[in-house]
Structure 1
Amino acid sequence: MTAKRRGAQLVMLAFAIVVVMGAYASVGLGIDGQIPSGTFTYGLGLAALMFAAYGVLAKWAPWADPLLLPLVTLVNGLGLVIIYRIEQTGQGGASATNQLMWTALGVVMFSATLIVLKDHRALQRLTYTMGFIGLGLLVMPLLPFVGREINGARIWIGLGPFTIQPAEFSKLALVIFFAGYLVAKRDVLALAGRRLLFIDLPRARDLGPVLVTWGLSLGVLILQKDLGSSLLVFGTFIVMLYVATQRTSWVLIGILLFIGGAVLAGQLFDHVQARFEVWLHPELPEFYDRELGGSFQLMQGLFAFGSGGILGTGLGEGFPDLIPLSFSDFIMAVVGEELGLTGLMALLMVYALIVQRGLRTALAARDPFSKLLAGGLSFILAWQVFIIVGGVTRLIPLTGLVTPFMSAGGSALLANWILIALLVRMSDAARRPPPQAIQNEGLTQVFTR
């Protein structure tokens, strides 16, 4: 990495931290007219973590995309600010200090991934091992004694006083499995069978992988009551299958299978039917209540978006305490109220830039496995943001997923920092020039001094 590129990345990283500190100060000014006493403490803590992450990146992945770390720092930092704002209302479960500690652990996982995984292509040799691990993590909450049901969904495991959501780590293992499997089988899966209208349908014998993944996603929906992970797993597989084969028919088959499965589950299982009824008719009195699974939380989130308007009420001047679990799956409603549509769109643009950099890495990758893996990881991030924003705005039913890098909790934060580390590692490999070019660049710098 040249000195100029390093300097630009440091400037962007410093700018992200300054924005976060400014937002933190604005929360205090909005609440009681004073800058919070912990502004510099949180700011210095975040700065120390991110500059440490930059040091690891500069040493172990010097050619990586320079925008990924500053963009993630900005989103993670704004998440800390919003959680601190919610904490001031006295809502239990929101703790900026705990979130900063989880962020520190996430940076450790990011650094460890870059240091240990020197060549991401080694993961291709672990294709089926990763598939086994991913499946095991996904079904682990169903096991007796360790599985925990919280807020109506059985997606947690308990380890003493701690709870972990293993599905967050399962998604990474499954994407690695999907990438390795599809690289090996893409020629077979790309074969066309009969033609229907203008679409070449796949052969019936090749439907097995899609049907297995569909059955797995339905099992997660029915047994764990987790629509979010169900959508995430199946949607990711279908998109990666399309990228690998370039067959539009796989996307259409996937959409039909998921809609059919959701309708069937809604007819056979009460909790699935209730979720769709609340989505379709949240204003009805029989659904509008404070019990978990009712529409009170959804309606309060919609009211928050409405009160925020275009420019928002201002940081520290909204009412996030009126939204149950606002620090978790409804944190975007707090952003919409206090920063308005303008702030919400700006935040979504930052997410879009992170996804764009990941997809750019996929396009620049030099081998099929890297292309599929980078594309799958980027899609997971984009798909998760779409699912959560679509849920809180009533575009789709609520799913229970959390907003990446923003919502309170450790499992998702750790998994997403590992996801970014994988993208950084692949970006470094894709952007690294040939050894001869690096040597020539070094000689040029010596002679121009």
Structure 2
Amino acid sequence: MPRVRISKSRRNAELALLLLAMLLVAVYSATIEANLFDTVTPDFWVPTAALAAVFLSLHVVIRFLAPYADPVLLPAVALLNGIGVGFLRRIDLAKADPDERMHFPIFAGIGGRQLAWTLAAVILAAALLVVVRDHRSLSRNPYTIGLAGIVLVLIPAVLPGSMSEVNGAKLWIKFGGFQIQPGEFAKLALLVFFAYYLVRKREVLSLASRRFLGIDFPRGRDLGPVVGVWVVSLMVLVFEKDLGTSLLYFGMFVVTLYIATERVSWLIIGLLLFFGGAFLAYFLGGTIGGPFANFHLRAEIWLDPFADPYNDGYQLVQGLLGLGTGGLFGAGPGGGQPLKVPEVQNDFIFAGLGEELGLFGLSALLVIYLLVVERGLRAALAVRDSFGKLLAGGLAFTLGLQVFVIVGGISKLIPLTGQTTPFLSAGGSSLMANWLLIAVLLRVSDAARRPVTGNSPARPANAGPAVPEQLHGAPTEVIRP
């Protein structure tokens, strides 16, 4: 049967790419040990084998539950995740006593914890594929999901600093020896609500009141949603003291709004509002201090990190020096000095990788991120319902925006944001949330690539002529070949 052969071909391609990705991770791990020890230990392959087992298990789940899903997403993300685990183990080896490095436990330290978090994240992604058989089911309780997202955003802001603040930003919930960053999960919940809301309000928000410089601008009374989200993003900036999260929430709403309406004016208005808010926060932080002081300090470090290179500007300066030292080809995996960069396992992991992989290596990593974003946008273009288009487009853009603000902060293009690098940085919250994001993209891409003829669930054999689908009263035209 043709449709069976096509789905098997895609899954076989996914399997081949996944095995190639794990081979690259194994070579990376072996090279790290060769540079650190001048030899390769007999069990260097064990972390890679554990990762391969985890990812192959997810591949089997996809083969049965999402047979038409994009075959590139899982291998690309698995490669990023594997390199992240390998680099974190490299940091563990660098921190260990020189006499004990050769015998450092495989599942100990930051790298061991990241391996465990990878297992938990992949299990969570597989569970989502099991529970959510149709991405449109996410739109059945949009207000509940949206409210849950808002609550997750606000919890760290109302908690005392001792339970929520890390490095000046109130983004965490800490109890005992455990901590979680709820904002990572909030972005997924809010995107579901944004997609639902914009499907319903798309026609109203597409209306133009006047044309200026060849661009149609919306009516004044339709600016309410954008202004509302702008105020919320400013509140995140003020009360949680985090520019990156504020930019992420506001950016993903404005871009989802642009995808829904195709109005460039929304992007222009969004950029003006965000930069206006950032300038206001910077000005107030320099005059009255208070909740704006943290952002003002970050902006001052960004403007001139070498003004205080041994205190406030130390992290950024060391990151820039690491990137510069790496040059074009880098010092080689395990050949650099990443421990000179504070928090290299979190915010500045790209700087540590840049020193060892060089410009070409970092460019390759960015190309992989670009590939993941491109495949997500391709799924958004191909899926037949408007909710799926907005959801997949928003998820893909959110991932790309997060990478941009991280790399932009490390390279001094924009102020430091404190965001984690998806799939690379240490941390369970980010890893689980981003694997959930990939699971949703896999589900949407499966629906987008699934045939609509024959006995396909998307188009029963006895169905009549194609008719517009309904999503809670919002018509979306289904185009049939």
- Give the TM-score range, shorter chain: over 0.9
CA displacement 1:94-120 (0-9 Å, x = unmatched): 611100000000110010000000111
Aligned-pair distance for 1:4?
A: 3.1
Pick from 118, 125, 138 the counterpart of residue 103 of structure 1: 118
Q: Secondary structure at the match of 1:405?
A: coil
Pick from 230, 235, 245 the counterpart of residue 219 of structure 1: 235
Q: Which residue of 2 aligns with 1:446?
A: none
Q: Which residue of 2 aligns with 1:114?
A: 129
CA displacement 1:280-310 (0-9 Å, x = unmatched): 01111xx3234xxx11000101001111000
1:229 aligns with 2:250: no
Aligned partner of 1:19: which letter?
L
1:168 aligns with 2:173: no
Aligned partner of 1:324: which letter?
P
The residue correspondences of 1:242-257 to structure 2 (distance < 5 A) are: 242-257=258-273
Q: Which residue of 2 aligns with 1:203?
A: 219
Aligned-pair distance for 1:222?
A: 1.2
The residue correspondences of 1:81-100 to structure 2 (distance < 5 A) are: 81-90=86-95, 95-100=110-115
Aligned partner of 2:306: which letter?
E
Aligned-pair distance for 1:36?
A: 3.6
1:340 aligns with 2:340: no
The residue correspondences of 1:286-301 to structure 2 (distance < 5 A) are: 287-290=308-311, 294-301=312-319
Pick from 388, 393, 396 the counterpart of residue 378 of structure 1: 396
Retained in 2: the 8 A contact 1:94–1:327? no
Retained in 2: the 8 A contact 1:147–1:155? no
Pick from 137, 155, 158 the counterpart of residue 152 of structure 2: 137
Q: Quick one: distance in 2 between partners of 1:101 and 1:38? A: 18
Q: Which residue of 2 aligns with 1:389?
A: 407
Retained in 1: the 8 A contact 2:142–2:192? yes
Q: Which residue of 1 aligns with 2:33?
A: 28
CA displacement 1:69-126 (0-9 Å, x = unmatched): 1111101000011111111221899611100000000110010000000111011122
Q: Secondary structure at the match of 1:66?
A: coil
Q: For the structure 1 residues 235 and 94, does the alpha-carbon distance in structure 2 shift closer, same or farther, using more than 3 Å as the test?
A: farther
Q: Which residue of 1 aligns with 2:51?
A: 46
Q: Quick one: distance in 1 between partners of 2:146 and 2:221? A: 22
Q: For the structure 1 residues 178 and 436, does the alpha-carbon distance in structure 2 shift closer, same or farther, using more than 3 Å as the test?
A: same
Pick from 323, 328, 337 the counterpart of residue 310 of structure 1: 328
Aligned-pair distance for 1:437?
A: 6.7
Q: Quick one: distance in 2 between partners of 1:186 and 1:225? A: 33
Q: Quick one: distance in 2 between partners of 1:38 and 1:240? A: 47
Q: Which moved more, 1:2-11 or 1:356-365?
A: 2-11
Pick from 253, 268, 271 the counterpart of residue 294 of structure 2: 271
Q: Secondary structure at the match of 2:335?
A: coil
Q: Quick one: distance in 2 between partners of 1:76 and 1:42? A: 12
Q: Secondary structure at the match of 1:39?
A: coil
Aligned-pair distance for 1:47?
A: 1.1
Pick from 167, 174, 179 the counterpart of residue 158 of structure 1: 174
Q: Which residue of 2 aligns with 1:282?
A: 305
1:399 aligns with 2:420: no
Aligned-pair distance for 1:6?
A: 2.7
Aligned-pair distance for 1:339?
A: 0.5
Identity of aligned residues (%): 50
Q: Which residue of 2 aligns with 1:127?
A: 142
Structure 1 gaps of 5+ residues are: 440-449
Pick from 62, 76, 86 the counterpart of residue 71 of structure 1: 76
Q: Secondary structure at the match of 1:74?
A: helix
Q: Quick one: distance in 2 between partners of 1:18 and 1:242? A: 40
Q: Which moved more, 1:16-25 or 1:430-439?
A: 430-439
Q: Quick one: distance in 2 between partners of 1:183 and 1:356? A: 22
CA-based RMSD = 1.7
Structure 2 gaps of 5+ residues are: 98-107, 286-292, 458-481
Pick from 235, 252, 275 the counterpart of residue 259 of structure 1: 275
Q: Quick one: distance in 2 between partners of 1:258 and 1:91? A: 44
Q: Secondary structure at the match of 1:15?
A: helix
Number of residues paired by the alignment? 434
Q: Which residue of 1 aligns with 2:476?
A: none
Retained in 2: the 8 A contact 1:155–1:166? yes
Retained in 2: the 8 A contact 1:240–1:372? yes
Q: For the structure 1 residues 438 and 149, does the alpha-carbon distance in structure 2 shift closer, same or farther, using more than 3 Å as the test?
A: closer
Q: Which residue of 2 aligns with 1:443?
A: none
Retained in 1: the 8 A contact 2:10–2:68? no
Aligned partner of 2:230: which letter?
W
Retained in 1: the 8 A contact 2:69–2:445? yes
Q: Secondary structure at the match of 2:209?
A: strand
Q: Quick one: distance in 1 between partners of 2:260 and 2:96? A: 46
Q: For the structure 1 residues 438 and 186, does the alpha-carbon distance in structure 2 shift closer, same or farther, using more than 3 Å as the test?
A: closer
Q: Secondary structure at the match of 2:216?
A: strand
Q: Secondary structure at the match of 2:430?
A: helix
Q: Quick one: distance in 2 between partners of 1:6 and 1:196? A: 50
Q: Quick one: distance in 2 between partners of 1:189 and 1:330? A: 39
Q: Quick one: distance in 2 between partners of 1:142 and 1:430? A: 39
Aligned partner of 1:227: which letter?
L
Q: Quick one: distance in 2 between partners of 1:272 and 1:355? A: 29
